[in-house]
Copies of this chain bind each other. A is one copy, B any other.
Amino acid sequence: MKFTASYIAEAIRGRLRGQATLEVERLVDPRQLESNTVAVLFTKDIPKEIPADALIVVPEGTSIPDRVNAIEVPNPKLAFARLTKLFHYQKELRGIHETAVVSPSAQISEDSYIGAYSVIGENVKIGSGVRIMEHVVVMDGVEIGNNTVIYPNTVIYPDVVIGKDCIIHSGCVLGSDGFGFVLSEEGNQEKVYHLGKVLIKDRVEIGANTTIDRAVLGETIIDTDVKIDNLVQIAHNVRVGRSTVIASQAGIAGSSQIGQYCMIGGQVGIADHLTIGDKVALGAQSGVNKNITKPGVYLGTPALELHRTLRIWSILQKLPELYKKLLRFLDAQNEQR
């Protein structure tokens, strides 16, 4: 892959300062800059030695040395994301592998790809440009929108609906039964069968080995542009709002509703039947047992506003000395009496 500096400037929506025809072949870490590479600097500190035929992307207003080729951007992190997209290689894939087992009633766009040993159930609908890699099991009645990619070994239970431009990584299980049991008169756990669905909207990404359970009745809903990391658990009837991101090993219990543009940290647990409003950020390992309506950053178990949990943690760390002092004081008081 080769791109000119001017092509890159346009792709990342930046302003080019330097040679428009310079060609770069690789995106590198700033410490690895060499001829024909490009790197992104997240601060205005520029390394001393930059090869004359390298390219750097810098925050707007950075002072750029002579003879250095640079692109100024308002948001270097966003420029970096766009550069990774540019340099990302995606193999051409099309057609149905001869070993795939496809139900005659499945409707599959001709320009889609079904990989080796994948199994496509009855009445499945697969849109245009979809890439279903090896060993994916798509059970009856599933729908998959245009340009979605599903990595190997993911299982999609019946009637799950997945939108356009999604990326589902390996080992996910979408649409398994939720966890519901009721103790019977005879002392047995009787199963609540799950008659609902999972609805995953457009541009959702789901990390490896994540599980999303189907609803009891109705739908478990993952809204547009939601991004979910590895090993996350989403229980039955949960709703996750637009563009929310959920980090690894977090778990959301049954029927809870998460707002838009939330950031759920790693290993966070959210109890069942809660409502979390828009733009709520939850620090890693937080445990949420109450509704949160106000946007802001929360932390701890139970989760409180960030500054408050940090204050409590700071006092806790002084507790041994404080406790000693206090005991000594209370003893002295008792003696005086």
How many chain A residues touch B (CB < 8 A): the figure is 108
Q: Is the CB of A182 within 8 A of B249?
A: no
Interface 1/0 per residue, A67-90 and B, CB below 8 Å: 000000001011011101101100
Interface 1/0 per residue, A214-230 and B, CB below 8 Å: 00111000000101011
Closest to A247 in B: B179
Secondary structure at chain A's binding surface: helix, strand, loop or mixed?
loop
Closest approach, in angstroms, between the C-beta of A121 and any C-beta of chain B? 9
Q: Is the CB of A284 within 8 A of B266?
A: no
Q: Is the CB of B134 within 8 A of A184?
A: no
Is residue A135 contacting chain B, with contact meaning CB distance below 8 A?
yes
Closest approach, in angstroms, between the C-beta of A234 and any C-beta of chain B? 9
Is residue A176 contacting chain B, with contact meaning CB distance below 8 A?
yes
Is residue A317 contacting chain B, with contact meaning CB distance below 8 A?
yes
What is the CA–CA distance of A302 and B191 in the complex, to the nearest angstrom?
Answer: 32
Closest to A88 in B: B193
The one of B97, B190, B195, B213 in contact with A78, judged by C-beta atoms closer than 8 angstroms, is: B190
Tell me the chain A residues, 254-301 only, with Cβ under 8 Å from chain B.
Answer: 261, 266-267, 269, 271, 284-285, 287, 289, 301
A153 in contact with B155 given A182-B77, A230-B179 (CB within 8 Å)? yes
Q: Is the CB of B243 within 8 A of A188?
A: yes
Beyond A27-B195, A191-B205, list 7 extra A-B contacts (CB 8 Å).
Answer: A84-B193, A84-B195, A179-B230, A187-B261, A213-B230, A233-B248, A322-B323
List 25 A-B residue pairs with CB atoms under 8 Å apart, sorted by A's residue number.
A27-B195, A29-B217, A80-B182, A81-B182, A81-B192, A97-B101, A101-B117, A135-B155, A139-B152, A153-B171, A169-B173, A170-B176, A181-B205, A181-B227, A188-B203, A189-B203, A189-B245, A211-B230, A229-B233, A230-B233, A233-B266, A248-B253, A267-B269, A269-B284, A308-B317
